[in-house]
Amino acid sequence: MYNAEKYIGAMLESILAQTFQNFEVIITDDCSTDKSVNVVESYMPKFNGKLILSRMKKNSGGPGAPTNKAIAHARGKYIFQADNDDLLMSNALETLYNVAEHFKADVVHTARHAFFKDNPANPFPARENLKVTQSFINNIMLAPENPGERIKIFCMGIIDVPGWQKFVRRDFLIENEIKLQENVEAGQDLPWTIELLFYAKRWVHIPNPIYIYRSHSDSLSVRERLGAESIKYRGELLAKIVEFLCKFFVKQKFFQENPQYVWMLLDWLERRFSQNFGIALLTVPPHEAQKVLAENFAEEFGLHASLIAYLCTSVNVSRLKEKQYLQKIKELEQRLKN
């Protein structure tokens, strides 16, 4: 939790309204500078000892470290992450728990979620204002046991990245030493999701939209960055994720024997990041973008920093322009047909 005084109360209310009440709530405050802690403390009597508040000694700069600390405090059979500014459907925990128990699952994945645009005057959206994401998953089903098949459906977009889409057996996390990536402002869920996909013995998909995502301007995930700041931020995030993946590939014999899945994941990563990264590069002149990359990633790029930065800038800008031209061609073709 960080500076969530406007939203954390609504999240806690949605937890109190759960049809399944055998739970504990653990919140780790990341040195909030507003009244978030006061709001949480005011809810403690309502939870009758089931609400635990811990605090980071200093701000960690991202969700990873506080979430890992909360999981370390947990004593329940399952772990479920929830962002401090979102909401849960009233049957969320009951649905997830029953499915996990029935299938003896390591991971239950929610293929859909509801979302809405925040209205400061009303923290609880009317049901008719909720929209639901689309998915190919229409029934409860077990994912393939083969890691390669799971990677395929992940790269197809059937499994998404957010931690709040997974209900996970706690002992499974401990046995496989799975933790969220720390020291990153965002993107901590991606390495975590890859490890869940690879190590889980039983992974279950459910179509139920039991989580409600709130879209608002205060969110870290929608914070706007411009120019050099955007290039540096997206470059650092991409570098840390690639570093994790490369270490993970080396550690696992499966990827050494099946290099096609290494390519598949790196190709997915490129597609996921190239659009926004390319847009960031276009916000400044090419030579400025090249300079930002060379200066900020000199250690990673080594003696060839300038050349690698140039190639990275050139390729991404060219690819983005190609997409824009193809879109214009499609639009013109459509006009000619009409």
> 220 near 122, Cβ under 8 Å?
no
Confidence check: pLDDT of 47 > 90: yes
* R_g of the chain computed on alpha carbons: 22
Query: Rounded to the nearest 5°, which phi and psi values hold at 200?
Result: -65, 130
3-state secondary structure the chain: CCCCCCCHHHHHHHHHCCCCCCCCEEEEECCCCCCHHHHHHHHHHHHCCCEEEEECCCCCCCCHHHHHHHHHHCCCCEEECCCCCCEECCCHHHHHHHHHHHHCCCEEEECCCEEEECCCCCCCCCHHHCEECCCCCCCCEECCCCHHHHHHHHHCCCCCCCHHHEEEEHHHHHHCCCCCCCCCCCCCHHHHHHHHHHHCCCEEEECCCCEEEEECCCCHHHCCCCHHHHHHHHHHHHHHHHHHHHHHHHHCHHHHHCHHHHHHHHHHHHHHHHHHHHHHHHCCCHHHHHHHHHHHCHHHHHHHHHHHHHHHHHHHHHHHHHHHHHHHHHHHHHHHHC
| Percent of the chain whose predicted confidence (pLDDT) is above 70 | 78
**Mean pLDDT for the stretch of residues 283-307:** 63
The CATH fold assigned to 8-221 is: Spore Coat Polysaccharide Biosynthesis Protein SpsA; Chain A (3.90.550)
pLDDT tens digit string along 115-128? 888 766 666 666 66
**Structure-token pair, residue 223:** 């914070």
Of the pLDDT bands very low, low, confident and very high (cuts 50, 70, 90), residue 189 is: confident
* Residue 168: predicted pLDDT: 96
Global confidence as pTM: 0.80
> 183 near 61, Cβ under 8 Å?
yes
Beta bridge partners of 207: none
Instruction: Kindly list the domain boundaries of the chain, sorted by start residue.
Output: 8-221, 224-337
How far apart are alpha carbons 328 and 268 in whole angstroms? 24
If one compares 310 and 214, the residue with the highest pLDDT of the two is 214
Confidence check: pLDDT of 45 > 90: yes
Q: List the Cα angle 207/211/215 in 5-degree steps.
A: 125
pLDDT tens digit string along 193-252? 999 999 999 999 999 889 998 876 665 554 556 666 777 777 777 777 878 888 888 888
241: burial class by Cβ within 10 Å (0-12, 13-18, 19+)?
Answer: buried
How far apart are alpha carbons 189 and 181 in whole angstroms? 7
Strands 114-117 and 131-132: antiparallel
Query: Mean of the per-residue pLDDT values for the chain?
Result: 82
* Residue 222: predicted pLDDT: 44
Strands 166-169 and 51-55: unpaired
Q: Is 138 left (phi over 0), alpha (psi -120 to 50) or beta?
A: alpha
Tell the residue number behind the tokens 């055998």, with chain if given: 22
